[in-house]
Structure 1
Amino acid sequence: MESRMSNALSRELGDALRQARRRSDVRTGTLIEELGWSAGKLSKLEGGTRGTSPVDIARFVGHLRADPDTFDHIMGLAQEPTTGHYVRPHGVAMPDSLRMLIIHERSAKTIRSYQTIVVPGLLQTRDYAAALMDGAPGAEDAVADRMARQAIFDEPSPPKGMFFLYEAALHRMVGGPQVMYEQMLQLLFRGGVRLIPFTAVLPRSLNTPFTHMTFADYTPVTYVECGQVSLFLDTFEATRAYQQSCHDLARVALTEEQSRSAFARWADRFDRLREARGATTAGGEVA
């Protein structure tokens, strides 16, 4: 990875180097002295704005006396081609611990998310997320990771989030009416959420869910989850295509006010359903 231009891969590598350095007992001053680097070079490399050779990366990790897993992970990133299309594996519906996702969400200026059959992860309640992941290995940790991701909106300068949700997600019962009721309230009061009704004519660009992120200092990154892998794209062609998708979303979705009204109706529907189930249970019948 010789390129000096910042891209999604160089930033993931820089983050991995920074994390390894912070876990190490080696002092930063000693590290740069032994490597013959300047503090500026180290800062740019860890920030993903300066490239260097895999040999230099190996020297860096070696001086940190990193464990074999850390070494292999970092060297894998250092030797990965800069293609603009980066595949990252993860558990089914559990990409929340992916560093490439986390570092870009944390630094994003805007986040536009489109989902078709589930509520976007950044808007899910804990119970909704737990119900989605129920039975999967590591589900408890994955739910905690998803809740931690949402903390970006509590930062002093949070990203501006706009979330587009296809109506099918509201028809999908996740965890029961109580869980869905609380999730509808979350959507109702969150803001920045727009519903795409079944009556909308969807263009081909909206066949697949995605998240498009923009930044103050570098080019946009688009994230697409595909089963047990996620794809990150930062090419000019991908950016142009997903910018068009974002325009299409804004065109076919209800306004925020109309969407809030819809979420309120759905909340009332699930509220009545949970009350009905509670009354049936109290009457001695199986709910």
Structure 2
Amino acid sequence: MVRVLDELGTPADVRERILGLRRDADDAPGQLTAGATTLGGSLTQLVKHEAAASRIVDVAPLLVPGLLQTSDYARAIMGDVPDADTRVALRAGRREILTRRSPVEFLALVDTEALVRPIAPRDVMVEQMHHLLTMARRPNVTIQLISSTRPGFHPGLAGPFELIGFPKARPIVLLEHHRSSLFLWEERDVAAFLEASEEIRQAAMTPAESTGIIENIVHGMETT
């Protein structure tokens, strides 16, 4: 069906409505793809979903969200593998949905621990923090931090997820792990993640407070 829609040049909103009908007709509650999550069919799906999206919420308790990663930070995550450059380039291409003429509204809910975890050398981390500050100034991008020392439980501690909303189709959820990725579109499952994202947002700092924390982190990295 995806290949047929591609050949027909189907507009993104129509495409999502048609695929939504297909999902509703499927007995399975979601689609699990095993294997590398950065290349292949699962990435193709993700790129198309993100390109058609109107709003994305990325809950990131472990790492800087993929759509906000610099190329050097992403390369540090990919490691020294033969296709690392291709993977980094693909991730960089995904970022364009935040800066295009009609950009996606993006909310990043990030644990503060993810910002100080030394994934990459210090200069790369400093560049990454400056990039976050630059992106946070965009009207379509909101970054809210959750303190890693905040008492109590919130759903973000159960793991990362990406909630992708569309102009006319129902939202879907992406769960991504080391060797598998899972799209959820069953209404009950998605509703649970919508509720979870709002609970996490309520637990987070305000955007202004979050920007202040990032600025303090950058200052500490640059002066120590």
TM-score by length of structure 1 reads 0.67
Residue of structure 2 equivalent to 1:217 = 168
The 8 Å contact of residues 95 and 230 in structure 1, kept in 2 or not, is answered as no
Q: Shift of the alpha carbon at 1:116? A: 1.3
- Higher RCO structure (Cα 8 Å, ≥6 apart): 2
Residues 1:197 and 2:147 are matched in the alignment: yes
Matches within 5 A, 1:1-287: 13-14=1-2, 16-19=3-6, 21=7, 47=15, 49-50=17-18, 81-91=26-36, 94=38, 98-191=43-136, 192-203=142-153, 205-206=155-156, 207-273=158-224
| Whole-angstrom distance in 1 between the partners of 2:216 and 2:84 | 31
1:182-212 C-alpha deviation (Å, 9 max, x unpaired): 1111112212111110232353522111010
Query: Deviation digits for residues 257-277 of structure 1, max 9, x if unmatched?
Result: 11111100111111124xxxx
Q: In the aligned structure 2, how far is the partner of 1:229 from the partner of 1:268?
A: 37
Counterpart contact for 1:119–1:165, Cα < 8 Å: yes
Cα pair distance change 1:43/1:186, threshold 3 Å: closer
Identity of aligned residues (%): 26
TM-score, L = length of structure 2: 0.85
Q: Distance in 1 between matches of 2:144 and 2:179?
A: 27
Change (3 A) 1:90 1:137: farther
Runs of 4+ in 1 over 4 A off after TM superposition: 48-51
Structure 1: runs of 5 or more not aligned: 1-12, 22-27, 29-41, 52-76, 274-287
| Structure 1 residues 156 and 270: alpha-carbon distance in aligned structure 2, compared to 1, 3 A threshold | same
Contact 2:75 2:85 in 1 (8 A): yes
Checking the alignment, whether the CA contact within 8 Å between 2:155 and 2:200 is kept in structure 1 is no
Whole-angstrom CA distance in 2 between matches of 1:157 and 1:82: 35
Partner of 1:7: none
Question: Aligned residue pairs: how many?
Answer: 212
Point out the structure with the larger strand share: 2
Residue deviations 1:159-178, cap 9 Å, x none? Answer: 10000111121221122110
Aligned-CA RMSD value:
2.6
